[in-house]
Amino acid sequence: MKELNPSIKHHLIVGILISLWIFIFAIIIKPFDDGTLNLRSWFLMSFGFSLLAFLCYAILSFLQNILYKKIEEWNISLEILSILFFYLIYLVGIFGYYKSPILKGGYNFTEFFSIIFIKVALILTPVVILARRYLIKLIPVKDDILTFKGENKLDILKIKKADLVCISNAQNYVEIFYTENNRLRSKIIRSSLKKVQEDFSFLVQIHRSHLINPLHFKSWRNTNTIILTQIELPVSKNYKDALLVL
């Protein structure tokens, strides 16, 4: 998993579904009975466990969102740690509730963990994993917008990443070539090729005066020239290896 759905609303919905799943399972199967609970206490236990599941997942939702915005990446390790963190705070919460004056549960922590909590984790883990994977599909698809800014405040160009074809050096300026309505257009702004490459690392340098968007690479015209979308550019020997891997 390389993405995390940043929508708090979507995760809170998952929290509600998790809560309902625990409540229905607890009421029908009754897996948490320690022999000390009457009907009223049993209902309170099921309801409390469900509510705490929602609250703990809500806490996870906010904290993981803060982390995701800070590091701007996600991976399987962070996903596993997030689920483990949810279970950790959930374990603390439901055990505290279980031993509270409301329930006065009879199991000690070790018994509670092995007899009750393990059951909760087993029935909950598949639901949590599937729900979180499904949330990835709900992330809105957004076009990557590139913003080029020159030294002059009026030098600005915003285009989709897929529309950018190449960028060429023009002394103290750079000329940006892009497609618009299937036509090749260009805009000159006061900047340097080096700065543009630093700002947009996906660009590939093929010549000391040219950067290209690899999405628009079509073919080789000959050993010294490549064909892009509606334009051809020379290739220097020093940069040829970078193109050969495209």
More confident residue, 35 or 223: 223
Confidence of residue 32 (pLDDT cuts 50, 70, 90): low
More confident residue, 93 or 102: 93
pLDDT tens by residue, 147-166 = 999 888 888 999 999 999 99
DSSP 174-211: EEEEEEETTEEEEEEES--HHHHHHH-TT-EEEETTEE
The single-letter code of the amino acid at 117 is F
> In the numeric block, which tokens belong to residue 13?
């919905």
Q: Give the sign of the dihedral formed by CA 74, CA 77, CA 81, CA 82.
A: positive
pLDDT at 103 over 90: no
pTM above 0.75, yes or no: no
Mean pLDDT, residues 4-8: 90
Mean pLDDT, residues 102-115: 89
Q: Please, what are the domains in the chain?
A: 8-137 (no CATH), 145-244 (2.40.50.1020)
**Closest C-alpha among 115, 107, 13 to residue 58:** 13
pLDDT tens by residue, 185-200 = 999 999 999 999 998 9
pLDDT tens by residue, 163-185 = 999 999 988 899 999 999 999 99
Confidence of residue 131 (pLDDT cuts 50, 70, 90): very high
Q: Which long-range contacts (CB under 8 A, 24 or more apart) does 210-219 make?
A: 210/166, 210/167, 210/168, 210/169, 210/234, 211/166, 211/167, 211/168, 212/165, 212/166, 212/167, 213/161, 213/164, 213/165, 213/166, 214/246, 215/161, 215/162, 216/164, 216/165, 216/166, 217/243, 217/246
Q: Which residues of 95-105 are buried (b: 16+ CB within 10 A; e: fewer)?
A: bebbbeeebeb
Contact 4, 110 (CB under 8 A): no
